[in-house]
Amino acid sequence: MVSRADVWLPDIMLLEATEIIQLDNEQYTVALQYDGSIATSVDQLVTVHCQFDVVDFPYDTQNCTLRYSSWMYDASHINPYPNNHTDLDAYCENDEWTLRSFTSRIKQMQADGMLFVEVAYDLKFTRKPPYYITSFFWPAFIITSMAIVGVFTPYSESGSRVEKVTFGLTALLTMAVILMIITSEMPKSSNGIPLLGIYVIIEIVVIAVATLFATLNLHLHKAWMSGTPVPSCLLAITCQYRSKTPKLTVSVVVFITVYAIPMQQTIKNAIFEGYDKTNRPVNSASAAVTVQLNPAIFSINEVDVAHQTVQFKQWMRMYWNDEFLTWNPATYGGMTKIMVPRSSIWIPDITIMEQVELVQLDDDFYVVELSYDGNVSSSVDQLIKIHCLFDVALFPFDTQNCSYRFSSWMYTAEAIDIIPTVPTDLTVYNENGEWTMRSYTARKSMSVDDGAVFVDMYYDVKMTRKPNYYVTTFIWPSFLITCLSIIGTFAPTTDAGERIEKVTMGLTTLLTMAVILMIITEQMPKSSNGMPLLGLFIMLEIGVATLATLTAVFIIYMHSCWMNDTPVPNCLLALTCMKEKKSEVSPTKDADMYKEGSPRRSPADPKLLVTIKKGVETLNLNINIDDLRDESLRYRWSKATHRLDLIMMIVFLVINCIIVLVVLVVGNAKLNN
């Protein structure tokens, strides 16, 4: 056994890794046999990027691939291959996932003009769904069932029916909260709505339809007031007859076994004799080192709009010439290239200026390709988080432009000149579920700092959000809830006190929309650049619901005007298409016969008793005239306000439809630009 740090190790790396935790090589030993064969084993905790398909969530099966390959050695130098069978003897079962299979295969990859051999390990694992069934499926089913029972349970005839609509809207609020909880655990991709999310949306639609039918029942329930007979179709439905007729990331422990053979040291001993890696690799102090940059974005891992940061994985590739590391191939058997540790040579101090966090392995883990003429090719795997100023005015139909700048930390333009590789490399990019990469370009600039001129290389990333998740989760549910609130608020009802419940419906809707708005604002940056389009849409929906509630309060006030003997205004009669009718109730003509001095009043009349009896009946009729007038006035106010309800319902529904159409049209138009 010898220390792992004392032997040459192949630079086999996990390409999809976003984080690797392992002990230093000094902590491990390798088994060295008499024929030079080496066996090594390393304990690693690895976090990898995996594109999840959550369409069948929580009954989903995921497939993740772990690709191992040499970082710098092409297929002509290192040829990795897997064991005959993968090893699962040390695997410990996971509480949420069941490992279905763990297989290996060999594939080839073309990168930077070189051919590399990869060993791909395919993980297939299935989610265990009982937690989600217990926590989401059954509660959603029970809430929907209770809402249906509550909405359609027969009530008394006085005033309870409007509670049904309020009950339905409350159930909608509950289901909306459940939907928000589910979507918070899902990636915001546009590949499809999770099965559990579809299930909750269907439950929401069921409650919405039930609430609409309850509103229709309210209208049918008051039809008797206008003398409308029960329609034959309704009698047939009710079996009555007429009297005459449903980042993530995965952490796995991997044991890697590789085999290697020693490498020649002749060239290294010759060129590194007297070499000092702290010196700039030029013979002339006035000459600049030209560094060519060719960063390749591998994946966009996280876009945090609230904190205005973007995290992505990239392969940082640089090329330059080291005039001190050259040799004559003819002297060394025609060998033109060798690999040397990255930590053993001079490295340009190229730094990402906008970085918030940078994760990469130490230089000891990497090697660089060194050519006989001094050309150096270096590639480093980096996980970078950069600051990006987001413009969320069109969220979720927004396109973001993020730039990050490479520059030498200490060397001025006279010492280091930076040039880009044209075109930029997106050949290894893996598509993101929430964002579409529109372009990736480079531009060169100069900056002055403390009187010194530095070369800056900007890389501009333009990416567009995929809006389907937000349209499905926020826009359509908000539109549906507002429509139901409008219908419930202005649905014609009876006159016996139910109109106050309309205000309760409006307030319930406002609460629902406020919850949705809070969820949206939590994902947005706390900037004052403007309200996001989605937030503006929710605010407009809140405004519509508020205005509808205030209108309902005003109609309630008008409905009670008959109590003050106020006649229906002509403008309201014209608006509701009603005609002014003259009162048909007037005092009887026999009332004058009982006035003092009337010639018809005579005590000698033989029919006095009969006349007195008729007079008493006439007096009772005159006493009831005021009651009849009040009843007539109340009927006219009730009819006018009912028609006004219908008009306002149509007006607000049209306004709501216009709002959602404008938002979708404007958003998609900006998305396609």
CATH of the domain at 393: 2.70.170.10
pLDDT over threshold 70, residue 254: no
d(CA 49, CA 122): 13
Token pair belonging to 207: 């409650």
Token pair belonging to 136: 């989401």
Res 380: pLDDT: 92
Give the number of domains in the chain: 1
Token pair belonging to 254: 């991997």
CA dihedral 485, 491, 496, 502 (to 10 degrees): 20
Token pair belonging to 431: 């598509």
Res 608: pLDDT: 62
How distant is the alpha carbon of residue 73 from its chain centre? 41
3-state DSSP call for residue 99? strand
Choose between 595 and 534: higher pLDDT. 534
Least confident segment among 55-59, 282-286, 495-499: 495-499
CA-closest candidate to residue 8, choices 471, 377, 367? 367
d(CA 311, CA 330): 47
pLDDT over threshold 60, residue 41: yes
d(CA 402, CA 404): 7
Res 245: pLDDT: 38
pLDDT above 70 coverage of the chain, percent: 78
CB burial of 257-279 (b: ≥16 within 10 Å; e: otherwise) equals ebebeeeeeebbeebbeeeeeee
Residue 152 maps to a domain: no
Helices 162-184, 500-522: crossing angle, 10 deg rounding? 10
Residue 297 maps to a domain: yes
pLDDT over threshold 70, residue 242: no
Determine the residue type at 315. W
d(CA 435, CA 188): 9
Choose between 620 and 292: higher pLDDT. 292
Residue 33 maps to a domain: no
d(CA 197, CA 246): 5
Within 388-536, strands assigned E span 399-408, 416-420, 435-449, 452-465
Determine the residue type at 202. I
d(CA 434, CA 473): 14
Choose between 520 and 612: higher pLDDT. 520
CA-closest candidate to residue 487, choices 221, 220, 211? 211
CA-closest candidate to residue 593, choices 570, 574, 616, 568? 616
d(CA 576, CA 646): 9
Residue 74 maps to a domain: no
DSSP lists the bridge partners of residue 297 as 314
pLDDT over threshold 70, residue 525: no
Choose between 454 and 190: higher pLDDT. 454
CA angle 249, 255, 258 (to 5 degrees): 125
Q: How many CB atoms lie within 10 A of CB 172?
A: 25
DSSP string, 119-181: EEEEEEEEE--HHHIIIIIHHHHHHHHHHHHHHHS---SSS-THHHHHHHHHHHHHHHHHHHH
pLDDT band at 577 (very low <50, low <70, confident <90, very high): confident
CA-based end-to-end distance of the chain: 63
Helices in 3-137 by DSSP H: which ranges?
A: 130-132
Q: Do 262 and 8 form a contact (C-beta atoms < 8 A)?
A: yes
pLDDT band at 226 (very low <50, low <70, confident <90, very high): low
Residue 339 maps to a domain: yes
pLDDT over threshold 90, residue 384: yes
352 Cβ contact list (under 8 Å, min separation 6):
358, 384, 386, 404, 405, 406
CA-closest candidate to residue 278, choices 349, 369, 351? 349
Residue 180 maps to a domain: no
pLDDT band at 351 (very low <50, low <70, confident <90, very high): very high
Choose between 78 and 362: higher pLDDT. 78
pLDDT band at 155 (very low <50, low <70, confident <90, very high): low
Residue 272 maps to a domain: no
pLDDT band at 594 (very low <50, low <70, confident <90, very high): very low
Its pTM stands at 0.69
Token pair belonging to 55: 């369409």
Choose between 318 and 28: higher pLDDT. 318
Q: Do 119 and 104 form a contact (C-beta atoms < 8 A)?
A: yes
User: Which residue in the block uniquely carries the two structure tokens 């007038």?
Assistant: 629
Res 619: pLDDT: 55
Least confident segment among 9-13, 355-359, 493-497, 646-650: 493-497
CA-closest candidate to residue 310, choices 360, 396, 384, 382? 384
Token pair belonging to 507: 């307030």
Give the structural domain span for 418: 287-466
The torsion region of residue 450 among left (phi > 0), alpha (psi -120 to 50) and beta comes to: left
User: Which residue in the block uniquely carries the two structure tokens 């009603």?
Assistant: 578
d(CA 652, CA 505): 15
Burial class (CB in 10 A: 0-12, 13-18, 19+), 97: middle
pLDDT over threshold 60, residue 247: no
Res 455: pLDDT: 96
What phi and psi, each to the nearest 5 degrees, are found at residue 131? -60, -45
Residue 374 maps to a domain: yes
User: Which residue in the block uniquely carries the two structure tokens 């938002």?
Assistant: 663
The torsion region of residue 308 among left (phi > 0), alpha (psi -120 to 50) and beta comes to: left
